[in-house]
């Protein structure tokens, strides 16, 4: 707290860019605090599950299963983090996932090479993203409402394309991207890590990443300073659509047969991962790396409970508690320090007791 005050008053020593100063600044960063807490939770829960589950948690087999379980959610959540930092939200992703899975399946059944089908399915996701951005920017519908609309439309289109039935007759290799192994490594692992790294780089290193923060934090000020707010939002939705499109391919691949059934659990897990990762719903704040760690945390909780043979019912409760505890602890941390907290408490006391005020 003392350091915060020093910095705020400009009373610190000249900006020697020493690692100590950097570390001190970093530890004051809310995103980094979040990251540390979540990584600690992952290790704690993992260790408990490892011990209680007879040493089965930290095994290659279990970690592989965990990766396959969280890969789709993680990929989409990374892209949606940018949407939320820019002050919007994309509810349409589970619809896009289903639609692009169906598109990929149909194209392959009709004889297209697999890579082309995947590319076109991802492009379908981009298209949905562009439609979303059109609704939000050109027409001016709130992103929440606009993307709920496209969630239903994409779901409907996917059903129309397949008559509501799962697609059959796909080659066995279709199951590779979502759950196959190459040289003992689950294929989703490098894909997921690649996507995470790409989005971390986009957010931290590029002008676009900075513009997402500006757009979400203060769109009016961003515009006055020459930031193209509309283009920034469009790109956010397009990336979210692309991620959902590619995620749909992996999702369908993991299931084996693309079916036009929306997985709403996926949507909520994505949002929970993002929020646990420290992204604010109000825009301007959030980190892709935090989202990744949040997604891993969700995976670890689910996988631990699975390993210990706890029923799915309890998993729902665990996920709910995790979300509430995470956001609650964040609120408490936001009060900066216990001293500040006590001072405020005391102030409100005085207000109540003091006859003069």
Tokens 């397009």: give the residue.
Answer: 238
- Smallest distance from other proteins to CB 130, Å: 20
Among the residue ranges 38-46, 201-209, 242-250, 259-267, the one whose residues contact other proteins (CB under 8 A): 201-209
Q: 356: Cβ–Cβ under 8 A, 6 or more apart, which residues?
A: none
Strands (E), 75-183: 181-182
* Cα(85)–Cα(203) distance, integer angstroms: 10
- Smallest distance from other proteins to CB 146, Å: 24
Strands (E), 102-149: none
Nearest residue to 165 (alpha-carbon basis) of 278, 43, 257: 257
**Residues 269-308 close enough to bind other proteins by CB under 8 A:** 284-285
* Cα(248)–Cα(162) distance, integer angstroms: 16
Nearer to other proteins, 18 or 173 (CB): 18
Query: Which structure tokens are listed for 71?
Result: 């890969």
User: What's the gap between Cα 83 and its chain centre?
Assistant: 10
**Residues 17-46 close enough to bind other proteins by CB under 8 A:** 25
Among 20, 61, 110, 207, binds other proteins (CB under 8 A): 207
Q: Could you say whether residue 217 binds other proteins (CB under 8 A)?
A: yes
Among the residue ranges 32-40, 126-134, 187-195, 208-216, the one whose residues contact other proteins (CB under 8 A): 208-216
Contact 104, 258 (CB under 8 A): yes
Torsion over CA of 293, 146, 213 and 79, rounded to 10 degrees?
30
Q: Could you say whether residue 3 binds other proteins (CB under 8 A)?
A: no
Among the residue ranges 10-18, 59-67, 240-248, 295-303, the one whose residues contact other proteins (CB under 8 A): 10-18
Q: Could you say whether residue 213 binds other proteins (CB under 8 A)?
A: yes
Q: Could you say whether residue 183 binds other proteins (CB under 8 A)?
A: no
- Smallest distance from other proteins to CB 210, Å: 6
Name the helix (H) or strand (E) containing 186: strand 185-186
- Smallest distance from other proteins to CB 25, Å: 7
Q: Which residues lie near other proteins (CB under 8 A)? A: 4, 7-15, 25, 205-208, 210, 213-214, 216-218, 220-222, 224-227, 284-285
């Amino acid at each position: 707290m003392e350091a915060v005050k020093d910095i705020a008053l400009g009373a610190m020593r000249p900006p020697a860019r020493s690692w100590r100063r950097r570390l001190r600044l970093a530890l004051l960063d809310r995103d980094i605090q979040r990251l540390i807490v979540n990584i600690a939770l992952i290790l704690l829960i993992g260790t408990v599950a490892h011990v209680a589950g007879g040493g089965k948690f930290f095994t290659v087999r279990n970690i592989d299963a965990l990766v396959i379980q969280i890969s789709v959610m993680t990929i989409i959540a990374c892209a949606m983090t940018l949407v939320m930092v820019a002050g919007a939200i994309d509810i349409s992703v589970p619809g896009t996932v289903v639609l692009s899975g169906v598109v990929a399946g149909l194209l392959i059944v009709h004889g297209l090479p697999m890579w082309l089908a995947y590319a076109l399915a991802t492009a379908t996701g981009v298209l949905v993203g562009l439609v979303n951005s059109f609704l939000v920017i050109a027409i001016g519908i709130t992103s929440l409402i606009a993307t709920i609309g496209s969630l239903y439309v994409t779901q409907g289109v996917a059903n129309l394309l397949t008559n509501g039935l799962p697609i059959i007759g796909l080659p066995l290799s279709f199951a590779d991207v979502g759950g196959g192994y190459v040289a003992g490594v689950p294929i989703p692992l490098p894909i997921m890590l690649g996507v995470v790294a790409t989005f971390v780089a986009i957010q931290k290193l590029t002008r676009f990443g900075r513009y997402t923060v500006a757009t979400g934090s203060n769109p009016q000020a961003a515009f006055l300073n020459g930031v193209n707010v509309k283009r920034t939002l469009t790109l956010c939705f397009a990336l979210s659509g692309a991620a959902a499109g590619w995620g749909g391919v992996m999702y369908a691949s993991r299931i084996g047969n693309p079916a036009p059934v929306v997985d709403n659990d996926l949507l909520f897990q994505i949002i929970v991962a993002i929020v646990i990762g420290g992204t604010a719903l109000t825009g301007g704040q959030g980190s892709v790396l935090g989202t990744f760690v949040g997604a891993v945390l969700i995976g670890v909780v689910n996988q631990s409970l699975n390993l210990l043979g706890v029923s799915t019912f309890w998993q729902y409760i665990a996920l709910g508690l995790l979300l509430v505890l995470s956001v609650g602890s964040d609120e408490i941390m936001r009060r900066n320090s216990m001293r500040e907290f006590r001072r405020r408490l005391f102030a409100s006391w005085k207000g109540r007791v003091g006859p003069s005020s």
